[in-house]
Structure 1
Amino acid sequence: MGAPVSAPPTQWSDSVRRVARSARTTPGRLGIIASALVALSVLTGLFAALALQSKQDTISGLTDHREPLSAAAQQIYRSLSDADATASSAFLSGGSEPAALRERYEIDMAQAGAALAKAASDVGGIAGAEKQVDTLGQQLPVYAGLIETARTNNRFGLPIGAAYLREASTLMRAKLLPAAQELYRIDIGRLTDEQDDAASLPWLTVALTLVLLGSLIATQVYLTRKTNRLINTGLLVSTVAVGIGLVWGVAAGWVSAAAVGSARDDGSQQVDVLVQARIVALKCRADETLTLVARGDGTAYEKEWQELAPTISGKGENDKDLLAKARASASDPAISQQVRGAIDNAQAWQEAHRKLRELDDTGQYDQAVSMALGDDDKDAASAFNKLDENLSNAIQKGREKFVESTSSAQNALTGLVPGVAVLALIGAGGALVGIRQRLREYR
């Protein structure tokens, strides 16, 4: 048999051989180094620009999208709970419903509907959020219908009106409020996750930049040994440009991350505690009025009131005291002032509630109702309304603090994306020009 015929060389293998032969010569090695430095500079600049743009978009989304949605979720709970308590208060007033309470109920329902529409715009792909929005959308008209039936019967003095009111309140507590609270929990969780993303540093980009910087320095050392020339202007410009980009990016990243952390600690986390306190206060107010509506059959409502009230006393007697937590974490003077006012009014409310229960338990029902609904400073309704106003103001101040700090985080990154891109191109151009200067010497 004859000797086997070798396969003809391929274009790829020829290219590899040419590169290998070129790498054995100094000009060839310099050409390869120049190509590698240009490619690495462009790649690093691209990664940095994309990572920084993504971070800017995330930070912008916190103030423009994510925080307003979590606020809408808590507004749903607040409006629904207040509507339920207001409906009960109106029922206690007898057949002639006060116009102020009717108006307050209608405003609450309108606000709940508007907030629900806003929340529904951002539930796509999140099964838990979709479920809660569906529950709210389906059950809210049912609740409103039960309330209207209760009102109609109460207007004509029919006892069955109280039964419809209790059925409506049961629906609110069993389905609507849990759905609203879960939706808020989901939204605040998403806000926290995006804050974590916004506060993280782009370590891959930092690593690539360090590799590029090290490669530029190594190339200059190599050229110095080969040419006995200490400085290569092109490579020096490239190294300085990359160094500026690294220092600028890291410094801006740290400043931005610190601002995002401040927005979380002094803004959204503070707001979350205040929202939880407001939720508890609203539950207590509904319990207070429903106990009177039940007329001797409201033991369960009063029991829940007694369980929840210590969590908004501000006395710090247990680790579940939300107002005590809010007071301890309030670093902003405006928020601290509102929290102190909330604590004072919460304690005044608890004292009014104690007297209210004494009146009701001793058969003085009308006087108890009067204390529950009155606007005197010592009445329960007055103390609750002041407490709710304090919490509302503190929440608004916390939201403003969040927006202020998050905007500072965004401002820290201003100009960084185009700046890093330009510096990367300068780095690539400087490396190419610097090495071409040496290549000319070999011709």
Structure 2
Amino acid sequence: MSSSAPQLDDEWLDALEGAPQQRTPWQVVQDTFTGPARWARRISVFAATTPGQIIAMMLVLTLSLAAAGFSMSQSMASRQRALDTLITSTEPMANSAHLLYSSLSQADTVSTTSFVQPGLLTQEQLGTYLASIDRAAVTAGDILEGTVATVGSSFGSAAPSGQDADAVRAEISSLVTEILRDLPMYTAIMERAKVNQRMGNPVGIAYMTEASSVMREQMLKNAEDLSSLTQDEVAAEVQRLSSPQWVPLSGLVAALVFLIIAQWWLWRAFRRRLNKGFIAATAAIIVAICWVGVSNFQSWQNGVVGFERAAEPWQRLADSRIDAQESRTDETLALLSRQSVSRSSQSFELTYLHVTQALDATEELGGPTISEATVASARQALEDWASAHQELVSALSDGRFEHAINLLNATEGADGRPGSAAAFRQLEDDLQELINQTRENTRVHINASLDATRLVSGAVAGLSAFAVVCIWIGIRRRLGEYM
């Protein structure tokens, strides 16, 4: 066939496909980013126009309002949950720790005193002793449950001495476990002491001293550490949850500043009166800021100022009651050992000072719920006990041990005033009543802080959403001018 033969129209169908064209890396990059670059150029050109600037401004305002509202709403909701945990778990756990401490001390006081009275324990004394032991075991279980209940909550987030939540919980559990481990040993030794006392064996005193040593050197020390730790935790949590929310609040303030700048720009761009939608949005954000500010101030007022004033007499009363019980035990041990009462006298003088200061603080800071009659009764009982204690010291110094025993167990003195036993029992009852009253005062302040946070989370979220809707409604007519 001649090479000059005409080529048919469909000859390309029979031709083999040629090799694909080789593309350079630069061509691949150009093909990949050509589309996005084209869109970026179009957006930048549109953003330079007035409608583009309006839409960019609206997006910034929407994001800032939504972010500020969401942040504050979440912060308030988290604070409310933490306060609820504080009032339902952390504070009751701290009260249980104090109750454990006082119950152990009371049990030791009752059981020790029984060794210097004629005959066996009375039915009332036996009931008090058994109730104290039972209450100590129950409250120890409550503390462990409270530790578990606070897992995953804010417990320990403001732990004292820089400890974290796990370290605080581990220390609390360790202290409670040690107390529960020593409790059966104490009761067993004390029961052996009582059995020997009933049989008239002098070794009963040795068993009693050993049991009291276990209580005072191990159990009460651990209980004191436990009470201090949980009280510090409550105070730290209250202070943390009552501090102003500066970061979320600054977000709302920044959103308000953006709104004001946007209205100024609209006025400069359109020379129109203020936009009604933006004014409504500004008013909504101002209301949200004021609401949060008032809530923060109320939380600070109740949680820091009010709680500290209410917690001081509670702590002093709790400590002074423990001091009184230990002084009563010192009186008994001094009588049983037939030794010098100088240590007991010094302990009593310090106890007298602590109780007096606690009653003074209760009258000054306790609040309107404190019963003045109970305070007066406690002061009188303290004076009666002090008078009986002086007679006891005098009798022991003179070696009149039988008379000292009568003085220690007397319910009525020779001058008609209450005796040592009656005065101490009245003082202990009055202090416990005042402790309950001051504890209610501390819970009132925590509840007030909790009430200050109610509805704030939902209100801030709603006001922020309302502000976003208002700015878009307000800008609609300005955008319509370019359509």
TM over 0.5: yes
For residue 346 of structure 1, what is the aligned residue in structure 2? Answer: 382
2:461 aligned with 1:421, yes or no?
A: yes
Corresponding residue for 1:318? none
* Structure 1 residue 49, shift from structure 2 partner: 0.9
The answer to whether structure 1 residue 284 and structure 2 residue 327 are counterparts is yes
TM-score (norm 1): 0.91
**1:74 aligned to 2:117?**
no
2:130 to 96, 99, 106: 106
Partner SS, residue 289 of structure 2: helix
Helix, strand or coil at the partner of 1:35: helix
Number of the residue aligned with 1:329: 365
In structure 2, the residue matched to 1:43 is: 67
Task: Pick the structure with greater CA Rg.
Answer: 2
- Quick one: structure 1 residues 313 and 233, their matched pair in 2 at CA, closer, same or farther if it must change by over 3 Å? closer
8 Å contact kept, 2:278–2:474: yes
Confirm or deny that 1:363 pairs with 2:376.
no
Task: Select which of 374, 377, 381 maps to 2:410.
Answer: 374
Deviations 1:386-421 (A, max 9, x none): 211221111111112122232222223332221111
Specify whether residues 300 and 175 from structure 1 end up closer, same or farther in structure 2 by C-alpha distance, changes over 3 A only.
farther
- Matched to 1:72, the amino acid is S
Q: Does 1:223 align with 2:266?
A: yes
Q: Give the whole-Å Cα distance in 1 for the aligned partners of 2:272 and 2:56.
A: 20
Q: Alignment RMSD, CA only? A: 2.2
**Structure 2: 5+ residue runs without aligned partners?**
1-23, 149-165
**Structure 2 Cα separation of the partners of residues 144 and 15 of structure 1:** 84
Q: How far, CA to CA, are the matches of 2:301 and 2:291 in structure 1?
A: 15
Secondary structure of the residue that 1:393 maps to in structure 2?
helix
How far off its partner does 1:156 sit? 0.4
Q: Deviations over 1:315-338 (max 9, x none)?
A: xxxxxx444444443443625553
* Aligned partner (choices 317, 328, 336) of residue 293 of structure 1: 336
Retained in 1: the 8 A contact 2:382–2:427? yes
Structure-2 separation of matches of 1:154 and 1:183: 33
Alignment of 1:19-98 (within 5 A): 19-98=43-122
Give the drift of 1:298. 6.1
Deviation at 1:61, TM superposition (A): 2.6
Matched, 1:438 2:481: no
Write the distance in 1 (CA, Å) between the matches of 2:404 and 2:39.
96
Letter in 2 for 1:436: R
Quick one: distance in 2 between partners of 1:15 and 1:372? 97
Alignment of 1:220-299 (within 5 A): 220-294=263-337, 296-297=338-339, 299=341
Task: Please say if residues 249 and 416 of structure 1, whose CA atoms lie closer than 8 Å, have aligned partners that are also in contact.
Answer: yes
Query: Closer, same or farther in 2 for the Cα pair 1:94/1:14, shift >3 Å?
Result: farther
8 Å CA contact retained: 1:327, 1:340: no
Q: What percent identity do the matched residue pairs reach?
A: 24
Length, aligned pairs only: 434
Deviation, structure 1 residue 68: 1.2
What's the CA shift string for 1:304-357, capped at 9, x where partnerless?
A: 52463343352xxxxxx4444444434436255534433332232122111012
Aligned to 1:195: 238
Number of the residue aligned with 1:317: none
Matched, 1:308 2:344: no
Shift of 1:180: 0.5
- Distance in structure 2 (CA, Å) of the matches to 1:356 and 1:172: 25
